[in-house]
Structures are given as structure tokens and as C-alpha cells.
Structure 1
Amino acid sequence: MSNPPLEEILLAEPRGFCAGVDRAIEIVERALVKFGAPIYVRHEIVHNTYVVNDLKVKGAIFIEELSDVPAGATLVFSAHGVSRAVQEEARARGFQIFDATCPLVTKVHVEVAKLNKEGYEFIMIGHKGHPEVEGTMGQLDSGIHLVEDVADVARISPLQTERLAVVTQTTLSVDDAAEISAAIVARFPQVRKPKQQDICYATQNRQDAVKVLSPQVDILIVVGSPTSSNSNRLRELAAKLGTEAYMVDDASELQEAWFEGKSRVGLTAGASAPEVLVRQVIDRIKALGAVAIRKMDGVEETIKFPLPKGLKLDAQGQQLEVGDSQLHQLS
């Protein structure tokens, strides 16, 4: 019996850029137009190779240490947020600063600062070493205990348990975070949980779309860079649901052997992956034999976040439209 031919691509909806990523890229691009190159960016503005390389070509310089930024330069903080110590050092060095921290990450920072004043300690659910986790934990000098899995919950030793609160990295697996949160509540029944979960709407929506898509396809491709937390979670989620799944930075990483014997391919993209990469992946899969493309029904995202003051106009005084960048365009 011959293998079924490759027939259809099912596109997840929503996929790709979220409002926080749109805003972060827009901040760097507008700063480049208004102030000219170079613009310095602490850490990758978002975790996507294509986006970072595109901005490098336009004049962005990505650094990890503020000592690598010359005096008087314009500096942008990445979408993941930074610690209080980094903020204070940047101000002390006299840089012109634009903060591209996703507002949903900033919301977590504000909550930590508020509850800290009320005497709370914190348990943070997140991945050690991720810049968002470092930024959130760096809002305080001490009193935040990081847990990466259920086993970690048994190991932590808060100084007190009367005032204990949970915060979460915004790009985690919704299901994994719920499992860890349940373990925290079981050990610390009086723990304070966020009024609204910290995992962001875009992470939730993209994971929900994969849950709908996975059972309908023979293989799922996730467009995203290896450093992208939310992209990794999409691939892991599909695999947990029993669907063969791969994550690729771009179309060049697709392997023909993956599609042998597969008739229906699912395709999604992490929140930091531009649509131009999705289109290139579609073209490559079509070249392998797929003849039809179908977009799944899904949540329509309409959220937009405001830009910082000082970036409203370009160098000629003309208003820039959000989405001018080639990164935002379908191709």
C-alpha cells in the first residue's frame, strides 16, 4: 500500500506576533528612524533570529553588559524586562532609555513591588536563566523562590508562610503552570494567587489553538527560534497530545523525511516569529506536494499596547504607522 500523498496545510489561528512583540520591535525601529543608528538593545529584543538580524542590518546593536554601551547612547530594554539593578545602572550611566518590556511583564513587576511592601515573599514559576525570570526576580533583593517543576515545590523554604504569593513567567505552558500551582497550593494553602493568571493572553491563545489543531493533523511544524520559550511550549504541547512535532527557525530547517507518509500538516508560529517566515515555510511544504491551505477558526486578537513617550514621530515629524516594518507584512 502506498503512502498517502501530502495534501493540506492547516494554519493555526492565532499564531505569530503578539502585541508585546509588535510594540518592542516598533520601539527599536522608531528609535532608529528618530535618533539614527546605532541604537543599543540590552539582550535580544525578542527571541527570534530573523527579527534580531533584520534589526542589526538597520543599525541596532545587541549587548548584554551596559559597559558595552557608550556614554550618551540610546538604549532599549528588551521585551522580557530587566532587573531593578540594570534599570538603576542604565540611569546612572546617563543613557537615553526606552523600555520595551511587555506591559504584561511589567504588570507582574508592579504586583511584586506592591506585595513586597505589604511583607510578602514570592514563589515564581518559571525557567531558570530566562531573561524574563531574571528581570522579575531582580525586582527584589531577596524573597523570591524559583520553582521550575512540581518537585521544586517541596524543596523551597520560605522564611514565613503567612504572606506568600505566586507569580508566573508569562510564556509558560498553561497546563504545566496549573500543575505546579496546584502543588504550591497543596503545600501552602493560604498562598495568594494572582487575580488574573500571569501567563499572557497570547501564550494562552496559541496553546489553545495547538490543542484544537493537533488531533486533526499528522505532523505539526512550529516556527520559532530555539531561545523562544513560548515557541518551545507549543512544540512540547503537540508532542504531549501525541502529534509528531518539530520546531524550525526558518524553512531551511525543514526535512523532507518528516513529511513522508503524512497527508495533513499543521503549522503555527510562536509569538516572536514573523509571518514572513510562516509564508516561507508554507512555500517549502507546497513544494513538497501540499496543494491546499486551510486556516483554522480561532480567537481574533485586537490588543495593542501604547508606545513610550518620545517615539510618536519620525525624524521628519511624520507619524509612523504601527506595522510599517517588513517584519509585520505578509509576503
Structure 2
Amino acid sequence: MRVILAQPRGFCAGVVRAIEIVERSLEKFGAPVYVRHEIVHNRHVVETLERKGAIFVDELHEIPDGAVTIFSAHGVAQTVIDEAKSRGLPVLDATCPLVTKVHLQGKRYVARGRALILIGHEGHPEVEGTIGQVGGPVHLVSSTQDVDRLDLPADAPIAYVTQTTLSVDDTREIIAALQRRFPNIEGPDVADICYATQHRQSAVRDLCRVVDLLLVVGSRNSSNSNRLREIGIEQGLPSHLIADGSELDPAWLAGVGTVGLTAGASAPEELVLDVIEALRHHGALEVEPMDGVREDVEFRLPAELRERTKEPVR
């Protein structure tokens, strides 16, 4: 049995930055530091940071006065920022810069008097943060059917933004439906779609052409990981989302000559290696990477964390 690894896979630059913000905060200020919501959607990452001294909470009222506070990579509503300021909490913002870019785009559209439509999944933390950032009404759509149900006149000035964990392919039909219904519409350039989401989905499509089974390493609550599995299913392949090697079901491997393996943007490479080790126990003899995009994007850390010197919290 062969195992072919998608390229790229796993951590994106926004996830790397978010995790590093927590780790450097622990180094500089000491434990504990408090993180509002999971820093990224991966239980392994969260538990690793918990062992180092991070405490994850659902809301700010769970954070003691004066404690170092970190916002997750998904972004937060303005009301959360205002509450932290009113309490004087020392905040480090781990919001992915590409998510922040969506917030700024949305604010500009609303300031110009356009009705804002957000393409995304209801209840996702990034969507909730974006809705709470733009300073005006937001119409959330997840499908072309949602577009048909929008209670807006056809001649209304419209603009749209998208959840970053959706790719060009994910949003193409919805954007086309919006353009058909609303002639006076604006939206971001295709180049503004999250590079990591697009790269990982394109790599999986390439992978699906040469394998018999697709395994996606990622958490159940990871939007982009679930989408990678869905792409495999759309390509007609048996496809499974697994957290690590312990979730590999040997029955999936019956009659399989080549396994495709990828990972969502919040899944660390060590979990991919764990799945490879599990596959070796079931007859995997070769492991090879596919050719693909080599990502070299890096996002700057907050200024107060660029120096590692430990200091007391002020």
C-alpha cells in the first residue's frame, strides 16, 4: 500500500502565528494566560497549550481582572474588544490577518452605504466575529437558496465578503447568484480569498485523481478540515476525517492500493505522522509527497511579543 501526502497540508501562517502568540505570552508573562475560545479548531493543539499553562474560556467574564487575555485566530466582535478595554484586560489579538482584512473590507462597504452580505456558516466563530465587527446589518448566506430568500430590493447597492475558510470554488455559485439578482454589487478580488484554504482544496482535488481512499487529519469542528473531506466525497472517493492515528479504521483499507493523506489548516504535522505510523501497521510500504505549492507566507507577531524577555504583566 502506498501513501501519498498532499502538498500543501496542515498549518497555515495564521494558525502558526496564533499558536506562537500563546506560547510567547506564556514565556514572557508566565502562566496562566487566558484564551477566549479555542485558539484554533484542533483539540490536540488546545490540550498541548493547556499543559503549558493556557486556560481556555468561553467568555471574558471568566477571566480574572488583570490577566493576560488572548483572542483566538477566528476574530471577535467589537463588543468583546470594548468589554476587554472597559475591564482593563491586557489583550493580545491572535486574529488571523486575513480575517482582519475581511473585517476592514466589510466596514468599508457599510460606510459607503452598501447592504453587506457575508458568505459563511452560521454559528462559526469567524462569522460571529465578522458580523460583530462591521458596524451595520449583515445578511448571512450559506447557499444559493439563501440568496433567493434575501429580503432586499433588486436595485439595492450590495457588497459581499466571505468567511476565510471558504475557497473560490466554495463561493463561486453563491457569488454568481448574488450577481444575477443584484446588478449593483461589489466584492473583494479573488486574490483576497484565503490562500491557504484555496491551496489545500486544490491539492486535495489533485490528490483524489491518483488515490483510492482519502484521509483528512483534523478536528470535527474545523470548517476547512470538513470541507477537505467533502471534496473527496464529491470526487467519488471514500473519504474520512480523523483526529489522529487512533481513529483509523482498518476496514477502510480493504482493497485499497493507494491512500491519500492531507490535513486541515489547524492540524499539526505530528498528527499526520501519527496517521502514517498507524497505516504502516496495516501494510503501508511507501510514503511519498505530491508536488504542490510551497507556502512561504509569514505573519508578524504583535510588537510586545517580538522580544522574548520575560517581564511582569503591567
Question: What interval of TM-score do these two structures reach, taking the shorter chain for normalisation?
Answer: over 0.9
Given candidates 185, 194, 201, the residue that maps to 2:195 is 201
Work out whether residues 81 and 105 of structure 1, in 8 Å CA contact, stay in contact via their aligned partners in 2: yes
Could you say what secondary structure the match of 2:303 adopts? coil
Given candidates 171, 175, 179, the residue that maps to 2:173 is 179
Q: Deviations over 1:27-76 (max 9, x none)?
A: 00000000011100011000001000000000111111110001001100
Question: Offset at 1:157?
Answer: 1.6
TM (norm. structure 1) is 0.91
Question: Offset at 1:198?
Answer: 4.5
Alignment partner, residue 142 of structure 2: 148
Question: Offset at 1:174?
Answer: 3.3
AA in 1 matched with 2:17: R
Q: Structure 2 matches for 1:20-99, cutoff 5 A?
A: 20-99=14-93
Q: Deviations over 1:272-317 (max 9, x none)?
A: 0000000010011011001001110000000000000110122359
Question: Offset at 1:220?
Answer: 0.5
Alignment partner, residue 11 of structure 2: 17
Unaligned runs of 5+ residues in structure 1 are 1-6, 318-331
Whole-angstrom CA distance in 2 between matches of 1:85 and 1:243: 44
Question: Offset at 1:215?
Answer: 1.5
TM (norm. structure 2) is 0.96
Alignment partner, residue 305 of structure 2: 311
Question: Offset at 1:20?
Answer: 0.2
Given candidates 137, 159, 166, the residue that maps to 2:160 is 166
Question: Offset at 1:195?
Answer: 2.4
Whole-angstrom CA distance in 1 between matches of 2:154 and 2:211: 49
Alignment partner, residue 128 of structure 1: 122
Work out whether residues 173 and 233 of structure 1, in 8 Å CA contact, stay in contact via their aligned partners in 2: no
Could you say what secondary structure the match of 1:183 adopts? helix
More off after superposition, 110-119 vs 53-62:
110-119
AA in 2 matched with 1:82: V
AA in 1 matched with 2:298: K
AA in 2 matched with 1:74: V
**4+ residue runs of structure 1 moved beyond 4 angstroms?**
none
Could you say what secondary structure the match of 2:231 adopts? helix
Work out whether residues 145 and 158 of structure 1, in 8 Å CA contact, stay in contact via their aligned partners in 2: no
Work out whether residues 150 and 179 of structure 1, in 8 Å CA contact, stay in contact via their aligned partners in 2: yes
More off after superposition, 113-122 vs 51-60:
113-122
Pick closer, same or farther for the CA change 1:150–1:122 going to 2, 3 Å. same
Root-mean-square deviation (Å): 1.3
AA in 2 matched with 1:261: G
Pick closer, same or farther for the CA change 1:63–1:316 going to 2, 3 Å. closer
Could you say what secondary structure the match of 1:216 adopts? coil
Alignment partner, residue 251 of structure 1: 245
AA in 2 matched with 1:264: T
Work out whether residues 154 and 181 of structure 2, in 8 Å CA contact, stay in contact via their aligned partners in 1: no
Work out whether residues 167 and 198 of structure 1, in 8 Å CA contact, stay in contact via their aligned partners in 2: no
Alignment partner, residue 321 of structure 1: none
Alignment partner, residue 221 of structure 1: 215
Q: Deviations over 1:68-125 (max 9, x none)?
A: 0010011000000001111111111111000000000000111111222211211110
Work out whether residues 46 and 272 of structure 1, in 8 Å CA contact, stay in contact via their aligned partners in 2: yes
Work out whether residues 215 and 243 of structure 1, in 8 Å CA contact, stay in contact via their aligned partners in 2: no
Work out whether residues 126 and 168 of structure 1, in 8 Å CA contact, stay in contact via their aligned partners in 2: yes
Work out whether residues 250 and 280 of structure 1, in 8 Å CA contact, stay in contact via their aligned partners in 2: yes
AA in 2 matched with 1:81: G
Whole-angstrom CA distance in 2 between matches of 1:214 and 1:274: 22
Given candidates 74, 99, 112, the residue that maps to 2:106 is 112
Alignment partner, residue 326 of structure 1: none
Question: Offset at 1:209?
Answer: 0.3
Q: Deviations over 1:201-241 (max 9, x none)?
A: 00000000001000210000000000101100000011101
Work out whether residues 103 and 134 of structure 2, in 8 Å CA contact, stay in contact via their aligned partners in 1: no
Whole-angstrom CA distance in 2 between matches of 1:255 and 1:195: 42
Pick closer, same or farther for the CA change 1:159–1:91 going to 2, 3 Å. farther
More off after superposition, 135-144 vs 56-65:
135-144
Could you say what secondary structure the match of 1:98 adopts? strand
More off after superposition, 106-115 vs 224-233:
106-115
Could you say what secondary structure the match of 2:208 adopts? helix
